[in-house]
Amino acid sequence: MATAFPEAHPSANLSRLITAAVINQSFRSLLLSNPEKALTTGYNGETFRLDRDERELVLSIRATSLSDFAVKVAARRETPRPAPRLV
């Protein structure tokens, strides 16, 4: 079975999410403690348009610091996933 490798770099919207967490302590705390609310609330009047996989990724991460969060995002995005099966 072939394996598809996702892009190692985050999408533009995932990058925006992490950038917002870098520059704003309140948003960073919310992202780390309640990622669902952080995604729903957005930052500075803007929301993050993550695709389903990115949203699930963000919601699945448990981290105590932003650097830990970013490492986990990168590690999981680099994990090979099975390629779609052609019928």
**Whole-prediction pTM:** 0.77
Counting every residue written for the chain, the total comes to 87
Q: What is the pLDDT, as a whole number, of residue 10?
A: 59
Q: Is 24 exposed, middle or buried (0-12, 13-18, 19+ CB in 10 A)?
A: middle
**Selected residue with higher pLDDT from 48 and 77:** 48
**Under DSSP, is residue 34 helix (H, G, I), strand (E, B) or coil?**
coil
pLDDT (mean) for 12-20: 93
> How many beta carbons lie within 10 A of that of residue 80, not counting itself?
10
- Check whether 34 has a pLDDT greater than 70: yes
41-70 per-position pLDDT tens digit: 999 998 999 999 999 999 999 999 999 999
